[in-house]
Amino acid sequence: DSGVTQTPKHLITATGQRVTLRCSPRSGDLSVYWYQQSLDQGLQFLIQYYNGEERAKGNILERFSAQQFPDLHSELNLSSLELGDSALYFCASSVGGQGMTDTQYFGPGTRLTVL
């Protein structure tokens, strides 16, 4: 158990819908990362937050957005869902120091299925 929690574990929804994925980082970690794992793209970095502020953006679609709240939990919002958004979404957290290159610990993931 990494100490990172993600809810829900599974999510099945229809095209065009909007969903919210939630992540709670390990105690004491200030940095939260979101990654998408799909068969065709592999594991891709989406976005990073550090202590409530957006720190870096990767291959995140405009239909996707995220935020980190004062209690440091984070939410990833996916809207206007398409079939191709079906994937495993991971949240990871790290302390956030050491030039941000400290070890990231991953949550169990949320498996999103868009029908």
Q: How many residues touch another protein (CB under 8 A)?
A: 29
Binding segment for another protein (CB under 8 A), chosen from 20-28, 36-44, 65-73, 76-84, is 36-44
Check binding of 35 to another protein (CB under 8 A): yes
Residue 110 and residue 95: Cα distance in Å, rounded? 22
Check binding of 103 to another protein (CB under 8 A): yes
Binding segment for another protein (CB under 8 A), chosen from 21-29, 66-74, 78-86, 95-103, is 95-103
Check binding of 58 to another protein (CB under 8 A): yes
Check binding of 94 to another protein (CB under 8 A): yes
